[in-house]
Amino acid sequence: MPETMPLAGQTHFVAPSSETPLQATGMVDTSAPPEGQWKEAWKVLRRNWMFWVSAVLLLIILVVVCFPGLFTSVDPRASSLSRSLEGPQAGHPFGFDKQGYDVYSRVVYGARASVVVGLLTTVIVTVIGLFSGAVAGFFGRWVDAVIARIADIFFAIPLLLAAIVGLSALNNVWPNRGYWGGVLAVVFALAAFGWPQVTRIARGAVLEIKGLEFVDASRAIGASKWRNLFSHIIPNSLAPVIVTATVSLGVYIVAEATLSFLGIGLPPSIVSWGNDIAAAQSQVRSGDNLHVLFAPAGALAVTVLSFMLLGDAVRDALDPKARK
Amino acid sequence: MWRYIAKRLLQTVPVVLGSTLLIYAMVFLQPGDPIVALFGEKPISDAARAQLTAQYNLDQPFLIQWLLFLKGALVGDFGISYSGQPVSDLIGRALPITFQLAVMALIFEAILGVVAGFYAGLRRGRIFDSTMLVVSLVVIAVPIFVLGFMMQLIFGIQLQWVPPTVGSNTSFTNMILPALVLGLVSFAYVLRLTRTSVIENLTADHVRTARAHGVPDGMVNRRHVLRNSMIPVVTFLGADLGALMAGAVVTEGIFNINGIGNLAYQAILRGENPTVVSVVTVMVIIYVVTSLAVDLLYAALDPRIRYA
Amino acid sequence: MTAVATERPLLQIRDLHIAFTSGKKDVPAVRGVDLTVYPGQTVAIVGESGSGKSTTAHAIIDLLPGTGHITGGSIEFDGVDLTSLSARKKRAYRGDRIGLVPQDPMSNLNPLYRVGTQIKEVLEVNDVARGKAADRRVVELLEEAGLGDAESRARQYPHEYSGGMRQRALIAAGLAARPQLLIADEPTSALDVTVQKQILDHLDGLTDELGVAVLLITHDLGLAAERADHLVVMYKGQVVESGPALQILQDPQHPYSQRLINSAPSLRSRRLMARERAEVRAEAAETALEHAEEVIGHGEGPESAGSPSSADAASADEFGGQVSAPVIRTTDLTKVFKLPGKGLAKRDFTAVDAVSFELARGTTTAIVGESGSGKSTVARMVLGLLEPTSGTVEFDGVDITTIRSRAQQLAFRRRVQPVFQNPYASLDPMYSIYRSIEEPLRLHGVGTGKERERKIRDLLDKVSLPAAVMSRYPNELSGGQRQRVAIARALALDPEVVVLDEAVSALDVLVQAQILKLLNDLQAELGLSYLFITHDLAVVRQIADQVLVMQQGRVVEQAGSLEVFDSPREEYTKRLLAAIPGRSVELAS
C-alpha cells in the first residue's frame, strides 16, 4: 500500500477522548431489579391493552361461574309459560324464552358448564400433550415413532365426529349422569381426541430446546436424562404450549356449544349456553325474538374472544422474536 | 421420492388400523344386546334376529367383527345399513355433495384469506390490519352455527337472495351460502396465518437484499414476500380439505344438505352403527391421503425439501 | 486503488445521526458520523457489535431495519443528498449505483428461486438486460464471481450451494448492475478462513478491475487493514478515529483504537504471548502436580489413580514441574454417523477418523479446523456426551467408555467440564445465575446451602463478576458475562480438565481477549488442563501449547504451538495460516 497524501475528508481524525469515553467491557447494570424470562414477559404483557381487556373480562366471567347467585336471584329453571317469548323488560333484561325461562338468569347460570368444559378439557389435553410430546421429542427414535403413530390414530378421526361418536357411546354406558357427569362426559370426549395437537407443538418445542448447549452442559455435570427433561427442557418448552392452551380453551368452549347444538353434548337438563343457543334456533326462525339467541351467543362469543385475546397477548409477550 | 411415499404409506397402515379399531370399539363395544339397542324394546322375531346376527357378524368376537369389516372395506363393501341399503351407496351419494361443498369453501377461504392476510401483513398496525384481526377473532369466537343461522336468516329468509335450505338441489348458486359459512372459520385462520407469515418474511434478510438490489417494493412483496409466505398457508389449506368435510356436519344440518356429515350425524342418532364406522373410516382415509398430499405439496413448493 | 486527489468524493456522509424508536423515545444508534469514499477506493468501517457500523451502511441505501430513521446530517452520493430524496428516487440508486453484498450468505438468497433467476431479476429491474440476453449475462456474472460450470450453477437453488458459493453468487448479484459503490457488510464473517481469503481476494480483484469503490463493514481489524485504504473506527455510534489504514494500525491515537489493536489476535505480535504462555505453563504444571498428588493421596476413585499416572507424576517431579503424564489420551478415536443414502441402505459418514492425541496435565491442547473437520465431535466424545464408534478416550489412564456405574460416572463428570460456544444458549434462560452455578454442586451433593453459596461467591470472584449477578438471569447479561458464568459453572466441581468448544468464538474481540486472559490466569491458578476447540488459528497462538490441525475428520498436523506457527509442515496448515487476515500487515513494535 503506497503512502499518499490523504484526500479531503480523509485526513487522520481522532475524536477527543472526553467526547467518546470508553466503558469498561463487561459492566453489570445493577440499577434495575433482577428479571427472569417470565418477569420480562410480564412487563411486556402489562403494557398490552389486549391483555387487560381480556383479563378483566375473564375475571368477571370467573366470578359468574363460581357465584352465579350474586348476579341474579331468578331461578333459571323456573318456567312461567305465560311470559313465553316476552321481550326484555325491567328485572328481566334479556326477556323470556319459549318455555318462559328468564334468559338473563340462564345466561348467568349457563356460564359454568361452558367455562368448566373449556378449562377442564384444556388442562387434560395440555398435561397429556405436553408430557407425550416432550417424551417423544426428547427420546426420539422408536419412542417418537410410537407416540407419533398413536397421536395420529386419534388425530385422524375428525374431532367433531369423534366427539359425537364418543358421546353417544358414553350415553349408553353412562346414562343419567347428572350435572357434573354430563359435563365430564363432554370433557372426556373432547380431550380424548384433542391431545395430539398439543403433542405436536410440545414435541416441536422440545426438539428445538434439546439441541441447545445448556442441555449438554447439564448432561456434562452428570444430570440424568429425566432430570434434564423435567428441570431444563420442559420448563423452556412451555411458552408455545401455554399459548396454544389459551387459544384452544376458546375453541373447546365453541366445540361444547356445537355438540350441544347437535343435541349430543350436554343433556338438556343442564343449563348451558350451547343448549340455549340450540333451543333458540327454532324460536327465531322468522327473525323475531332475536334476544333469545343473542344473549347466550353473545355471552359465549365474549368469553371465547377473551381467551383468544389473552392467547394473542401472551404470545406477543413470550415470543422472543417480538421482544428483541 | 417413491421411497418416501412408500414409507409414508407404510406408516399410515397402523394409523388406519388403529383409528378404525378405536371407532369400531366405541360404536360396537357396548354393554347389552346391539339388536335391542337398534330396535329398542320392540319384540323381534327369532328369524330376523338370526339374520341380523349373521349379517353383522354379531356372533363373532369383537376383534373378528372388526377384521371382517376391514376386509369388506378394503374392496369398498361397507355392508348393509339397518335400513337395508348398501352403506357404500349411501356414502357414494353423500360424498360428492360434501366434496363439492368443501372445495367451494376451500376456494373461498383461500382467496379471501390470503388476499386479506397479505394486505393486513403489509400494513401491520394500520386500520385495515386491526379490522381484519377483529373480524377474524369474532369469526372464531362466535360458534359457526350461530353465524350460519344468522346468514341463513339474513340472506335466505329476509333478503331472499338464496334459498334458505339446499335440500336435493345442490347447484352451484344454492351451495354458495353454505360454502361461505363452512369456510368462515378457516378463512379466519388463513388470514391470521398469512398475516403472520408475511410479517415474518418482510424482515427476512433476502427480502432486504432484493430491495438493496433495486427491486421495486411491489415486486419484492409479490415475488419474495408473498411467494415465501404461501408455504405454510398452502400446507394449511391442503390439510383443511379433510377438516372441512368433517366439519360439514353443522353446516349441512343448518342448510339441510344431504352430505356425508348429515349422513354420519343421522346414523349416530339412529344408532346405525355400520354406517357410522364406515363414514368415519372414509374420513380417516381422506385425512391420511390429504396429509400425504400436503407433504408432497410442501416438497413441490419448497425446493429445499427433498424426500429421499 | 489509489484515487486522484482532485476527484470529487463519491460518497460523503456528514454528521449522520440515526435513531431507533422504542416506545415513544428515540434511542440514538449513530451519532454524528462523518465518512468520505472516493471513486475506486476501499474504505472500511471497523467496530464491534453495536457500534453502529451496519446501521450506517444501511442508512446509505435507505434500508434501516424496523423503527430506524435518520435524525440528522446528510448522505451525499455523487453530489446528490440522498436524505432529501423521495423514497422512489432513493430506490433508483439501489442496485445500479450502490450495490450490496450482505453478511450471511445462508439467509440472503431467496431459498425458493434458482440462483440464476435471482441475478436475472437484478439485471431486469435495473434495465441492464432482459430475456435471453439477461440469461447469458447471468452466466457471465457467475463466471466472473469465480463459480465454475456457471451455466448449470445458474439453474440450481441456493441450498445446493456451499456457503462460499452462495457468497460468490451474492457478489455476482451485487455487482450485476455495475454499481459505482459496493457496500460489503461483513461479507465473509460466516465463512471458513480459507474460503474467506479466496472470496476477499476475488472481490478485491473484481472491484479493482471494474473501478468500483467499496465500503467494507467489518469487525475484523486485521481484515480491514489488509483490504482498505482508509479506516473508520466506530465505537458506540460514533467515529472515534479515522484515517489512512496503515497509519491507524501502526500508530493508533484514540484509546479505543489502541485497545482494539492490542486485543486483535491476528495482529498481536507473537513474542508477547510466548513469554506469558511459558510462565503460565510453568505455574499450571506446578499446581496441577500438587492437585494430582492430592487426588492420589486421597485415593479418590478406585481406578482413576492407577499406578502409571502416579509413577509419571513422580518422575515429572524430578524434571522440575514438567508434568508429562497425560490427563487425557485418545487412541484412534473414530466416530461414524449413519446417514440416509440411496435406496434403503444407509451411508456411512466418518466424522472423526482415528484421532489420537494427548493432553498433558496443566497444559492446553488446541484442536483447530474448519467447519466439518470433526473437531467438535472429538470434544463431545472426550466429554462422554457421544459414544465413539471405535477407539478409546482415556482419562487418567481409565477408558471412559468402560465406565458403567453411576458413582464412577459422576466421579468422571466432576473432573471434566465443558464450556460451549454460544453464550446465548449455554445457560438455561429460566435459571438465575445462582441456580445455574449451583446446579452441579447440588447434583453432586457438595456442601450445605451456606457452603454452596460461599463457593458460588468465590467462583464468581474468580471469573471477575460481582456477587450481585447471582440473582440475575442470563438475558440480563452480555455475551462475555454469560461466558464468564459458564466458566464459573464449569469450575464449580473443581475439575481437572475443561473442554472449551469454541468458547470465545462468538465474542467481540475485546471481550474475547479478556476471556482468553481469564482462562490463562485460571489455568495458572488452578492447574487446569484445557482442550481448546476452535476454528480460529489466531486465537490458538495465544493459548495453546500443543496444536492439532484437523481436516475432514483426520489430524493432518500435530505439533507444539510455536512449531505450527513458525514452521508448519503440512500444506493445509500453511493455507490456514496464510488465510489469517492481517498477517501480512506489519505492526510497529
C549-575 residue pLDDT tens: 998 888 888 888 888 888 888 888 888
Q: State the nearest Cα–Cα gap between B104 and chain C, in angstroms.
A: 29
> Above 80 in pLDDT, residue B206?
yes
The rounded mean pLDDT for chain A is: 82
- Asked whether the domain spanning C270-578 has the same topology as the one spanning C1-97+214-250, the reply is yes
Distance CA A214, CA A226 (A): 15
Q: Does A63 touch chain B (CB under 8 A)?
A: no
Q: How many residues does chain C have?
A: 589
Q: Which residue of B has its CA nearest to C185?
A: B209
Selection from C304, C303, C322 nearest residue C313 by Cα: C322
Average pLDDT over residues C231-235: 91
Q: Is the pLDDT confidence value at A133 over 80?
A: yes
Q: Which of A1, A34, A216 sits opposite C246 (nearest CB)?
A: A1
Q: Which of A37-46, A200-209, C509-518 has the highest mean pLDDT?
A: A200-209
List of chain A residues whose C-beta atoms are within 8 Å of the C-beta of residue B33: none
Domain boundaries along the sequence of chain B: 2-74, 91-270
**Closest CB from C95, C104, C344 relative to B213:** C95
pLDDT band of A124, cuts 50, 70, 90: very high
For residue B15, the chain A residues in CB contact (below 8 A) are 149, 152-153, 156
Residues 6+ apart with CB under 8 A from C202: C145, C146, C168, C171
Alpha carbon distances (Å) from C379 to A215, A265, C362, C548, C559:
15, 59, 18, 13, 19
In a domain, A21, yes or no: no
Q: Which of B12, B26, B144 to mutate to test the interface with A (most CBs of A within 10 A)?
A: B26
Q: Strand, helix or coil at A9? A: coil
Contact B250 A162 (CB under 8 A): no
User: How far is the C-alpha of B97 from the C-alpha of B75, rounded, in Å?
Assistant: 22
pLDDT of residue C124: 92
Residue A288, classed as helix, strand or coil, is coil
Burial of C336 per CB tally in 10 Å (0-12, 13-18, 19+): middle
Whats the size of chain B, residue-wise?
308
Helices and strands (DSSP H and E) totals, chain A:
12, 1
Kindly determine whether residue B213 and residue C344, on different chains, have CB atoms separated by under 8 Å. no
Q: For chain A, give the percent of residues with pLDDT over 70.
A: 90
CB-CB under 8 Å, C99 with B212: yes
Tell me how close the Cα of B11 comes to any Cα of chain C, in angstroms.
16
pLDDT over 90 at B115, yes or no: yes
| Residue A114 pLDDT exceeds 80 | yes
DSSP string, A198-239: HHHHHHHHHHHHHTSHHHHHHHHTT--HHHHIIIIIHHHHHH
Which residue carries 380417516 as its cell?
B284
In this complex, is the C-beta atom of C339 within 8 Å of any C-beta atom belonging to chain B? no
- DSSP codes joined into one string, C402-420: G--SHHHHHHHHHHEEEE-
- For strands C416-419 and C554-560, give the pairing: unpaired
C468: nearest CA partner in chain A: A30
Which pLDDT score is estimated for A25?
Answer: 56
CB contact under 8 A, A258 and B144: yes
Interface residue of A114, A152, A155 to substitute, partner B, most B CBs within 10 Å = A152
Residue C333, strand partner residues: C355
Which candidate, C510, C52, C499, places its Cα nearest to that of C256?
Answer: C510
Compare all CA atoms of chain C with the CA of B203 and give the residue at the minimum distance.
C65
DSSP C404-462: -SHHHHHHHHHHEEEE-S-TTTSS-TTS-HHHHHHHHHHHTT-S-HHHHHHHHHHHHHH
Quick one: average pLDDT of C349-364? 87
Those chains having 3 or more beta-carbon pairs within 8 angstroms of chain B are: A, C
Give the pLDDT score at C40.
87
Confidence band for B42, pLDDT divided at 50, 70 and 90: low
Residue spans of the domains in chain C: they are 1-97+214-250, 270-578
Distance CA B12, CA B3 (A): 14
Please give the pLDDT value at position C341: 62
Q: Is the pLDDT of residue A37 over 80?
A: no
Contact A300 B243 (CB under 8 A): no
A17: nearest CB among C255, C428, C464: C255
Q: Are B57 and B65 in contact (CB under 8 A)?
A: yes
* B50-73 average pLDDT score: 76
pLDDT at C277: 62
In this complex, the residue of B157, B158, B283 whose CB is nearest that of residue A158 is B283
- CATH 3.60.21.10 applies to domain B91-270: no
Distance of residue A2 Cα from the nearest chain C Cα, in angstroms: 8
**Average of pLDDT values for A260-279?**
85
DSSP 8-state symbol, A92: B
Nearest beta carbon to residue B209 from set C91, C102, C343: C102
Contacting residues of A for C484, CB less than 8 Å apart: 26
Burial class (CB in 10 A: 0-12, 13-18, 19+), A52: middle
Summary mean pLDDT of chain C: 82
Assess contact for C259 and C508: CB atoms under 8 A.
Answer: no
pLDDT at position A130, please?
93
> Which band of pLDDT confidence, cut at 50, 70 and 90, is reported for residue A324?
very low
What ipTM was reported for this prediction?
0.83
Specify the pLDDT at position C181: 93
Give every CB contact of residue C89 below 8 A, 6+ residues apart in sequence. Answer: none
Q: Spell out which residues of chain C touch residue A242, defining contact as CB-CB under 8 Å.
A: none
Rounded Cα distance, B239 and B245, in Å: 11
Give the pLDDT confidence score for residue A79 in this predicted structure: 74
One-letter amino acid of A18 = S
CA distance B188 to B143: 13
Residues of C within 8 A of B227 (CB-CB) are 112
In a domain, A135, yes or no: yes
Q: Do strands C80-81 and C68-77 pair parallel, antiparallel, or not at all (unpaired)?
A: antiparallel
Q: 3-class DSSP state for residue C498?
A: strand
How far is it, in rounded angstroms, from Cα C19 to Cα C185? 20
How confident is the model at residue A125, as a pLDDT? 95
The Cα A317–Cα A312 span in angstroms is 9
Inter-chain CB proximity B142 and A153 less than 8 Å: no
For residues C296 and A22, the model is more confident at A22
Whether residue B14 and residue A166 make contact (CB cut-off 8 A), yes or no, is: no
Q: Which residues of B touch C94 (CB under 8 A)?
A: 211-214
Kindly report the three-state secondary structure assignment for every residue of chain B: CHHHHHHHHHHHHHHHHHHHHHHHHHHHCCCCCHHHHHHCCCCCCHHHHHHHHHHCCCCCCHHHHHHHHHHHHHCCCCCECCCCCEHHHHHHHHHHHHHHHHHHHHHHHHHHHHHHHHHHHHCCCCHHHHHHHHHHHHHHHCCHHHHHHHHHHHHHHHCCCCCCCCECCCCHHHHHHHHHHHHHHHHHHHHHHHHHHHHHHHCCHHHHHHHHCCCCHHHHHHHHHHHHHHHHHHHHHHHHHHHHHHHHHHHHHHHCECCHHHHHHHHHHHCCHHHHHHHHHHHHHHHHHHHHHHHHHHHHHCCCCCCC
Minimum Cα–Cα distance from C126: chain B residue? B214
Q: Which residues 438-477 of chain C have a CB within 8 Å of chain A?
A: 439-440, 443-444, 464-466, 468-469, 471-473, 475-477
Q: CB-based contact (8 Å) between B84 and chain C?
A: no
Query: Residue A320: is its pLDDT beyond 80?
Result: no
Average pLDDT on B208-232 reads: 92
Confirm if C128 and C134 have CB atoms less than 8 A apart: yes
Which residues are C77's β-sheet partners? C11, C80
Q: Does pLDDT of C22 surpass 60?
A: yes
Residue in C closest to B225 by C-alpha: C110
**Distance separating alpha carbons of residues C226 and C471, to the nearest angstrom:** 45
CA-nearest residue to A7 within chain C is C5
* Whole-number pLDDT of residue C303: 41
Residue A242 covered by a domain: yes
Q: Which three cell numbers stand for residue C116?
A: 440464476
CA distances from B71 to B75, B76, B78, C66 (A): 7, 9, 9, 61
Residue C93 in contact with residue C82, Cβ under 8 Å? yes
| Pick among 3.10.129.10, 3.90.1170.50, 3.30.470.10, 3.40.50.300: CATH of C1-97+214-250 | 3.40.50.300
Average pLDDT over residues C538-543: 81
CATH number for the region C270-578 comes to 3.40.50.300
Q: Copy the grid coordinates of residue A153.
A: 390414530
User: Can you give the pLDDT at residue C319?
Assistant: 35
Q: Tell me how crowded residue C330 is: count the other CB atoms within 10 A of its CB.
A: 24
Q: Is C300 left (phi over 0), alpha (psi -120 to 50) or beta?
A: beta
Does residue A90 belong to the interface with chain C, where contact is any CB pair within 8 Å? no
When CB atoms are compared, the residue of A150, A284, A308 closest to B137 is: A308
pLDDT band at C310 (very low <50, low <70, confident <90, very high): very low
Q: Which residue of A has its CA nearest to C252?
A: A14
Residues of C in contact with A232 (CB under 8 A): 428, 430
| Residue C3: predicted pLDDT | 46
Tell whether A24 is covered by a domain. no
The backbone torsions φ and ψ at residue A195, rounded to the nearest 5 degrees and listed phi first, read -65, -30
Probe site for chain B from A114, A153, A168 (most B CB atoms < 10 A): A153
| Closest Cα in chain C to B226 | C112
In angstroms, the separation between the Cα of residue B284 and the nearest Cα of chain A is 5
Place of cell 440450481: C156
Confirm or reject contact between B6 and chain C (CB < 8 A). Answer: no
Mean pLDDT calculated for residue range A72-97? 74
Q: Please state the rounded mean pLDDT for residues C523-539.
A: 86
Query: Residue A103 and residue A277: Cα distance in Å, rounded?
Result: 11
Tell if the CB–CB gap between A153 and B15 is shorter than 8 Å: yes
Rounded Cα distance, A322 and C80, in Å: 37
Cα distance between residue B36 and residue B41, in whole Å: 6
- Least Cα separation, residue B47 to chain A (angstroms): 26
Which contiguous run of DSSP H or E holds residue C28? strand C25-37
Residues of B in contact with A300 (CB under 8 A): 141-143
How many independent structural domains does chain A possess? 1
**Domain containing residue A155: CATH number:** 1.10.3720.10
What one-character DSSP code corresponds to residue A133? H
With a cut of 70, say whether residue C408 has pLDDT above it: yes
Span B128-164, pLDDT tens digits: 998 998 899 888 888 888 888 888 888 888 888 878 7
Show Cβ contacts of residue C88 under 8 Å, excluding neighbours closer than 6 positions. none
Q: List Cβ neighbours of A256 (8 Å cut-off, separation of 6 or more).
A: A113, A114, A117, A118, A186, A190, A265, A266, A272, A274
* Chains touching A (3+ CB pairs < 8 Å): B, C
Q: For residue B119, is pLDDT > 80?
A: yes
CA distance linking residue A144 with residue C413, whole number of Å: 29
Q: Is C235 on the interface with A (CB under 8 A)?
A: yes
Residues of B in contact with A308 (CB under 8 A): 137, 140-141
Q: How far is C3 from chain A (nearest CA, A)?
A: 9
What pLDDT does C322 receive? 45
Range of the domain at A188: 49-69+97-323
Categorize the per-residue pLDDT at B210 as very low, low, confident or very high, splitting at 50, 70 and 90.
very high
Cβ–Cβ contact C253 with B under 8 A: no
Chain A, nearest residue to C440 by Cα: A221
Query: What is the Rg, in whole angstroms, of the alpha carbon atoms belonging to chain B?
Result: 24
What are the backbone dihedrals phi and psi of residue C25, each rounded to the nearest 5 degrees, phi first?
Answer: -100, 150
Does residue C289 carry a pLDDT above 80?
no
